[in-house]
Amino acid sequence: DAKTTQPTSMDCAEGRAANLPCNHSTISGNEYVYWYRQIHSQGPQYIIHGLKNNETNEMASLIITEDRKSSTLILPHATLRDTAVYYCIVRVANSGNTPLVFGKGTRLSVIA
């Protein structure tokens, strides 16, 4: 079972920041938080990941609370192409040989 809790759906106005929350209250010390998204009919796409520090890349920012029990993915200027299902996943270590366990994710709708 997925070890994260996310809202089922969210709306965001185009050009505004989209803030997607994720609860992972049972996260272990060696587990990372990963975010993927899936645009309709396409394969999931990696966005960002982090352990305890905030992370930023060209796609998004990841804010992890100090107790690591929750995090927020921030898309700073959402566009219509950011409409997708966003998955928050926790997994052991920084290892590519651990299968990802997907939950239901958050369906983000960016509205013009």
Partner 1 sequence: DAEITQSPRHKITETGRQVTLACHQTWNHNNMFWYRQDLGHGLRLIHYSYGVQDTNKGEVSDGYSVSRSNTEDLPLTLESAASSQTSVYFCASSRTETGELFFGEGSRLTVL
The residues of the shown chain that bind partner 1, judged by CB under 8 A, are 32, 34, 36, 41-46, 49, 91, 93-105
* Least distance in angstroms from the C-beta of 103 to partner 1: 6
Residue 64, beta-bridge partner list: 71
Q: From CA 73, how far away is CA 18, in angstroms rounded?
A: 8
Nearer to partner 1, 17 or 92 (CB): 92
Nearer to partner 1, 19 or 38 (CB): 38
* Least distance in angstroms from the C-beta of 87 to partner 1: 8
Q: What is the DSSP string of 14-79?
A: TTSPEEEEEE-TT--TTEEEEEEEE-TTS--EEEEEESSS-EE-SS-EEEE-TTSSEEEEEETT--
Nearer to partner 1, 40 or 67 (CB): 40
* Least distance in angstroms from the C-beta of 80 to partner 1: 21
